[in-house]
């Protein structure tokens, strides 16, 4: 068992000296409680992260499907939006540029804001913008929507990675590592 003492430093009121230390509680952590807590976290965070990655994969493959599906009947993305192959490639590249530019600022905002609210905002915005891609009528609107998708997808991918990296610690026993 490991004894943990939590000490909070905070001003109480005007009469009490500022920054006075107040002992909140002493708690002993045992291995069973720790395993139970880690298990609960695993059951909540890992499925959410896996579903986010699945949705991102589907989103990235859908733009290619929209280009080739129904091409024989002239009901594909290029025909409906009057895009050339060059304009289509521009729309694809704009996504990657936005993704690269906004990954770091999103991580900064993740640290400054509450992760639960930031990831929820990113997921909601990403979903709304993905729906908006279905309403795009020209190559300009497809390119703009792809840029916005790059912004929000960069944020949610890096947020999920940061959340998983901060949340999980791996303990190895002697002999577990092969190198």
pLDDT tens-place string over residues 88-128: 999 999 999 999 999 889 888 888 888 878 888 988 998 89
pTM tops 0.85 = no
Q: Is 158 helix (H, G, I), strand (E, B) or coil?
A: helix
Q: How many domains does the chain have?
A: 1
Phi-psi region of 82 (alpha: psi -120 to 50; beta: other; left: phi over 0): left
| Residue 178 DSSP one-character state | -
- What is the band of 65 on the pLDDT scale with cuts at 50, 70, 90? confident
Q: Are the beta carbons of 176 and 149 closer than 8 angstroms? A: no
Structural domain includes residue 68: yes
User: Is 13 inside a domain boundary?
Assistant: no
Range of the domain at 95: 34-167
- For residue 175, tell me if it sits in a domain: no
Q: How far apart are CA 118 and CA 137, in angstroms?
A: 30
Both tokens of residue 83?
């895009």
Residue 117 lies in a domain: yes
Contacts of residue 67, Cβ cutoff 8 Å, sequence gap at least 6: 76, 77, 78, 88
Domain contains 2: no
Residue 69 resides in a domain: yes
Indicate whether 26 pLDDT > 80: no
More confident residue, 88 or 12: 88
Decide if 137 is inside a domain. yes
Residue 53 pLDDT more than 50?
Answer: yes
Q: Is the pLDDT of residue 39 over 90?
A: no
Is residue 22 in some structural domain? no
Residue 142: which pLDDT band, with cuts at 50, 70 and 90? very high
- Total number of residues shown for the chain: 179
């Amino acid at each position: 068992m490991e004894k943990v003492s939590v000490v909070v430093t905070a001003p109480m009121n005007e009469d009490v000296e500022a920054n006075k230390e107040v002992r909140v509680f002493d708690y002993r952590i045992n291995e069973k409680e720790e395993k139970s807590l880690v298990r609960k976290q695993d059951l909540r965070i890992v499925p959410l992260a896996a579903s986010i990655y699945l949705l991102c994969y589907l989103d990235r493959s859908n733009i290619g499907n929209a280009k080739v599906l129904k091409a024989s009947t002239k009901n594909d993305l290029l025909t409906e939006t009057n895009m050339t192959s060059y304009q289509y490639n521009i729309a694809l590249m704009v996504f990657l540029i936005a993704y690269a530019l906004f990954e770091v600022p999103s991580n900064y905002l993740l640290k400054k804001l509450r992760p639960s609210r930031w990831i929820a905002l990113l997921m909601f915005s990403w979903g709304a913008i993905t729906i908006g891609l279905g309403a795009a009528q020209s190559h300009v609107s497809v390119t703009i929507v792809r840029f916005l998708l790059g912004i929000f997808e960069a944020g949610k991918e890096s947020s999920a990675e940061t959340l998983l990296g901060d949340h999980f610690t791996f303990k190895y026993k002697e002999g577990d590592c092969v190198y």
